[in-house]
Amino acid sequence: MQVSDYIAKFLKNNGVKKIFAVTGGASLHLIHSAKKQKGLELVFPVSEQACAMAAEMHYRVSGNIGAAFATSGPGATNLATGICGAFFDSIPSIYITGQVSTSRSNKGTGVRQIGFQETNCVEMYKGVTKYCVKIDKAEDIRFHLEKAIYKAKNSRMGPVLIDVPDDIQRKIINPKKLKSYRQNKIKKKNNFQNTKKKITKMFQMLLKAKRPIIVLGWGIHLSDSYKEIEEFIKKTNIPVVSTWAVAHTLDYFNPLNIGTWGTHGTRYGNYAVQNSDLILSIGSRLDTKATGSPITTFARSAKKIIVDIDKSEINKFKTFGLRIDLSFNQDCKRFLQSCLKFKWKLKKNRFYKWKSQILVWRKKYPICLPKYFKEKEINPYVFIDQLSNQLNKDDIICVDTGCTIAWTMQAFKFKKGQRLFHDFNNTAMGWSVPAAISASLLKKKRVILLTGDGSLSCMINEIPLIKKHNLSINIFLLNNDGQSMIRQTQDQWLSSDYLGSSHDGGLAKINFSKVVSAFGIHTTKVKHNNKIRISIKECLKKKQSFCEVVINQNKRVVPQVIFGRPNEDQDPLLPINEYYENMIIKPINR
């Protein structure tokens, strides 16, 4: 068997269904071998960056590892943004790059390059992959593929990359004689008793708490713990906030669901978290978008219990001076399953006063204010509110970065069964386009693509794939004439000098509707609040559609925490007396 054929068969046997690839001289054998493998489908985006993003979305939406092929040199380097997204979001995906033949390698010469497009991509990617290796001998291919897949899918998951020289791809091997990778399984001591003691301690802390909050993070999705977390929440009867990554976990109208919080969260969510006396964080690494800066201002009067698969994420808090009272270094699913075996049950009305207070804040500080509906021009919060009303329970929503994701995560009202995806920690502009394509190819469901003009300009060249594969994707472009999230930062720190974030500041203007229309997709444009509902309805009737939503360039994310302020004191700042009245714990003086 040829090495490239072995690679294609191995990927298929390990759950890969689609391979995203861009052709190139050093990747042709890989691509043609994949074409011969029944059960594998090749998809050809325009850029390797889109390939990398589509591949990692493969796992986000299906739970199966995704794959991408790229040629040497610029093909390999163009994968970087997508690989970083997979690494920071702990997404198992495998990237196979072609490399110049071993006879044309610069190894040992001291020169930068011998073969055409030779690039040492292994050294480049070591810091953002769980395993990265160049194949030196054809007989090692099984070992490295098995090791890569094991590394990608175990412990804290992540991407892997294998660099295969062109001549090795073409070599003939005997699969029966290939060396296997056998992970030496370390026999772990039975820590059941220790875990049982810690869970008992946790429930004792919950029993003493008067204002507890459960924080849900991306680990819930990665461990597929939706069923377990719902049961756990019902059992404990504790209010819940979610990071953006799993805001879809609970139905919007679930009385225990507070929604999102953090630097770009809701005001009522932040008051609940900051005034709590106990935080139980399950599957969230509590990054600075969640805690605010400095980290020591985060829920400063609360006991903190952390569940995280990565010990380093737990230990990092010591560096920043945040005390963690109890921690569980384990997978969310295993933790929740252990908890659910206990017969502890908190009294249903135990937190009545606390939940009533949260409800007061929620009614007092809605995200979509009544006055927004009276505006003539489109208010982004009204648009998101109206869009969420019209979507179905099984829709997949892919959202791009900037104001688009912030507005969505503040105002969207999730229905149970919906799934929202974003590259949460890398937040690459344009990610939603290849992600939506990947999701639609895999799930055959309707996909809603929400993007901004800055983001779409980076990936508009991939939209023809929607037409080519006849995918069910409805695109909504929130066009605010530039990069509003950057302009908001420039408002705060740089006297509203919109350099590089507006057309006057140097950005080129694109007629997105004309470009997308040229790709053969139905387009429409909406400019007024009173036309939103009907415009959304008409777009959703079509299998493929593009709706340009015109947003005034002065619209901002409101509220938002300015760097250096605690999360409970969001901009625009409330009157000082009102701010103090909302604080149960000691407020931080302005």
Identify whether residues 466 and 393 lie together within a single domain. yes
Residue 184 is predicted with a pLDDT of 61
Residue 182 lies in a domain: no
Reported as a single tens digit per residue, the pLDDT across 270-282 is: 999 999 999 999 9
CATH assignment of the domain containing 135: 3.40.50.970
Distance, in Å, from the CA atom of 534 to the CA atom of 324, rounded to the nearest integer, reads: 50
| Span 151-210, pLDDT tens digits | 999 999 999 999 999 999 999 999 999 999 986 654 455 466 678 899 999 999 999 999
The percent of residues in the chain predicted with pLDDT above 90, rounded, is 93
Alpha helices in 424-547 (DSSP H): 432-443, 453-459, 464-468, 484-493, 512-518, 532-541
Q: What is the mean pLDDT of the chain?
A: 95
Residue 163 sits at φ, ψ, to 5 deg, of: -100, 120
CATH of the domain at 225: 3.40.50.1220
Please write the tens of the pLDDT for every residue from 75-133.
999 999 999 999 999 999 999 999 999 988 888 889 999 989 999 999 999 999 999 99
Q: Specify the pTM.
A: 0.95
Residue 349: per-residue pLDDT: 77
Domain count, the chain: 3
Residues 473, 517 within the same domain: yes
Query: From residue 437, how far is each of 432, 443, 458, 519 by CA, in Å?
Result: 8, 10, 15, 15
Q: Is residue 500 part of a domain?
A: yes
Residue partners of 568: CB distance under 8 A and separation at least 6: 270, 271, 274, 275, 579, 582, 583, 587
Say what the pLDDT of residue 345 is.
67
Counting DSSP H helices and E strands in the chain, the numbers are 26, 18
Give the mean model confidence (pLDDT) for residues 64-70: 97
CA distance 513 to 523: 6
- Asked if 169 and 227 sit in the same domain, the reply is no
Residues 7 and 53 grouped into a single domain: yes
pLDDT in tens, 10-42: 999 999 999 999 999 999 999 999 999 999 999
316 assigned to some structural domain: yes
pLDDT at residue 386 tops 50: yes
Average of per-residue pLDDT across 196-225 = 96
Q: Is residue 371 part of a domain?
A: no
In this structure, are 152 and 121 located in the same domain? yes
Residues 6+ apart with CB under 8 A from 458: 428, 429, 430
Write out the residue range of the structural domain in which residue 208 sits.
Answer: 192-364
Q: Are residues 415 and 293 in the same domain?
A: no
Assigned domain for 184 exists: no
**What is the Cα–Cα distance from 332 to 309, expressed in whole angstroms?**
7
- Same domain? 411 vs 498: yes
- In this prediction, residues 447-461 reach a mean pLDDT of 97
pLDDT reported for residue 354: 97
Going by pLDDT thresholds of 50, 70 and 90, the confidence category of residue 590 is confident
Q: Note whether 24 and 144 are same-domain residues.
A: yes
Residues 475, 481: Cα–Cα separation, whole Å? 17
pLDDT of residue 186: 47
Q: Classify residue 471: in a domain, yes or no.
A: yes
Do 400 and 492 share a domain, yes or no? yes
Q: 358 and 214, same structural domain?
A: yes
What is residue 108's predicted lDDT score, i.e. its pLDDT? 81
Domain-embedded: residue 558: no
Window from 110-114, 371-375, 480-484 with minimum mean pLDDT: 110-114
Assess whether 391 and 359 both reside in one domain: no
Is the domain of 277 the same as that of 355? yes
SS3 category, 119: coil
Write down the pLDDT at residue 192.
Answer: 60
In a domain, 318, yes or no: yes
Check if the beta carbon of residue 84 is closer than 8 Å to that of residue 426: yes
Most distant CA atoms of the chain, gap in Å:
77
